[in-house]
Chain A
């Protein structure tokens, strides 16, 4: 059995699929690609059993072939080759020989039967109503870039380990939270008569961020899975089968004190104050008065402290409020494209809203941060 393929075309294909290959897995077989050749079409799969990626390419083959090959080794060889034709020759002794103009490489392969079942999308005839919507790749990537950092890593609340996709009358909303901070991004008007919630696991988000480009993405939604189709790639992910917490209930409505501030100024100050914040709490104190913000931090263990003043626009009551400087830094990093941000405050124990000052036409971005108690 054999087939031939152009090295650059194969490299392109493998580059798209390899993100789904798990780097650490209790099932070593998942460190392989599944190759399926049917009627001259090579389809390559990879999965970690939570998500799967597949894509296809025309090859020159006489027979239909199914086999399992080591992903990383194959990818590294193919990637390092100049453009050439690779001849794959599969022999019966469990070896697959790759021949190019001036090289010969031999890899072990396994039978396709040994590869576990890949998460697959329920067929339409399974009696389940399937939804299909289309979204621009750049927009989807932007949504993940802004929200993904806030997902929880703690297994106590499985739903919070994913990002919420919520289709509402207002549009398509993305929410991520770990209980300390929360990001809420709404794309207005992206509504296809669906009102439903889907919780997408972190792994799917991080892989999608690697493969998304500016082209449109089609999403097929079922109760248990989402299939993302972009160009010739299909990513299927299981959904987290837990109800997402009621995020809307924690978004404060009474935050009447607004502090408008230059993003870069406050971000630079925070980066310096982080150096002085105590390692266990990472606490910084914001003392906000009329048109002035003082940020201070103190590490009693090493006997160090720092204070900075940042100009802002503020007309509300004077307020002292503590934050985890790491969280403030995260939020400001993800708003670094904005010239000004607005902090909406109420009291030292209530969640603070941080938003871009300039609203976008088609989307609303809001970040929420819970304060840290100040003891004095």
Chain B
């Protein structure tokens, strides 16, 4: 989003339109969170001390931030994104990565999607956004900064190498003022200059970030868009072609469902403490039974045992069963270890 907080304020208060606006507190120690484009002309920018900003732009109008409003708008923007894809990785309230390789609208051009999203943001929220399009997150981010405000910038796949080599190093996310200075003092001004260094050398010069520079400059940085939706539960269910009454058949189904649910858990690297069994009878009457244990379920056998207990207690199904479902909730979303090359005994 372009000058997000300031734009929201200008939208909601027409008297601010076209004027230099800063969102922040005007007091001595305050800093700006955002400056409108009118203010930026005076050299005012975000994170600048309010006092300095006022000196640069004496007509600057200060507005106190209303974070609840920004959050609400942010949610509305994300809803627009989700019309195209669920692979949305928010960076902040007003910035996000979208992976539109496959999208809900079946549009083959990312540029068309970007245009549509920008239009929808303008129509529905009366705000402007800038989009960057390319083959990975790093380049998309750089592209989005190339043509602000209300911009759209594409780095086509066959132009990425050329683009990176020509890129001024201070435009690279992760290279801040100090690093940029250090690089310039070493005559590293562009991506091309940076590319001349060996990995070890970059690591020696810039520590861990050196390895990152080495990778991004070669388009090798792991760049999956990671949606942050927090999962609350996982479940699997199965509707039978013919309603089932036989106990051993039903148990066999529960066993299959337990296994496939546990595989999902492993894929998502999570497990839960609460097991819920859903039984839908032939007449569509539905029952759910739950049990919570003191630790996340840790094997498919354990899951099956609990499911079987729920199946029997308080009573076995009394009518032919149309559907069985099994769910896990109360999930522990434990973090992935940073290294998964250590193999594990299949205990």
Contacts and interface: CB of A to CB of B under 8 A. Distances in A.
Contacts of A246: 347
A262 B316 CA distance: 62
Nearest to A178: B345
Nearest to A299: B203
Contact of B345 (A156, A182, A283): A182
B338 interface: yes
B345 A375 contact: no
B291 interface: no
A156 B296 contact: yes
A303 B203 contact: yes
A180 B334 CA distance: 19
Interface string B329-341: 0000010001101
Interface residues of A, number: 31
Contacts of A324: 342
Contact of A249 (B199, B208, B298, B346): B346
Given A156-B296, A157-B298, A302 B203 contact: yes
Interface in A270-301: 280-281, 283, 300-301
B200 interface: yes
Contacts of A349: 343
Interface residues of B, number: 20
Interface in B288-347: 295-296, 298, 334, 338-339, 341-347
A369 to B, nearest CB: 9
Q: Output the residue of B298, B338, B339, B347 with the most chain A CB within 10 A.
A: B347
A375 B342 CA distance: 12
B211 A281 contact: no
Contact of B343 (A156, A158, A177, A373): A373
Nearest to B200: A303
Contact of A179 (B199, B295, B338, B345): B345
Contacts of A156: 271, 295-296, 298, 334
B342 to A, nearest CB: 5
B228 to A, nearest CB: 23
Contact of B341 (A179, A247, A300, A372): A372
Nearest to B341: A373
A311 interface: no
B270 to A, nearest CB: 11
Nearest to B207: A301
A300 B343 contact: no
B71 interface: no
Given A156-B298, A303-B200, A370 B343 contact: yes
Contacts of A182: 345
B200 to A, nearest CB: 4
A189 interface: no
Interface string A217-258: 000000000000000000000000000011101100000000
B19 to A, nearest CB: 50
Interface in A182-216: 182
A368 B345 contact: yes
A182 B298 CA distance: 19
A105 B251 CA distance: 69
A301 B211 contact: yes
B204 interface: yes
A301 B200 CA distance: 7
B344 A179 contact: yes
A349 B334 CA distance: 26
Contacts of B271: 156
Given A156-B298, A300-B211, A371 B203 contact: no
B332 to A, nearest CB: 8
Nearest to A152: B347
A351 B345 CA distance: 8
B316 to A, nearest CB: 25
Interface in B196-236: 199-200, 203-204, 208, 211
A182 B334 CA distance: 24
A280 B298 contact: no
A156 B199 CA distance: 38
6 contacts: A155-B295, A177-B347, A246-B347, A303-B203, A370-B342, A372-B341
Given A156-B298, A250-B345, 7 more contacts: A156-B296, A177-B347, A179-B344, A180-B344, A247-B347, A280-B338, A370-B344
Interface of B: 199-200, 203-204, 208, 211, 271, 295-296, 298, 334, 338-339, 341-347
5 shortest interchain CB distances as A-B pairs: A245-B347, A303-B200, A373-B341, A370-B343, A250-B345
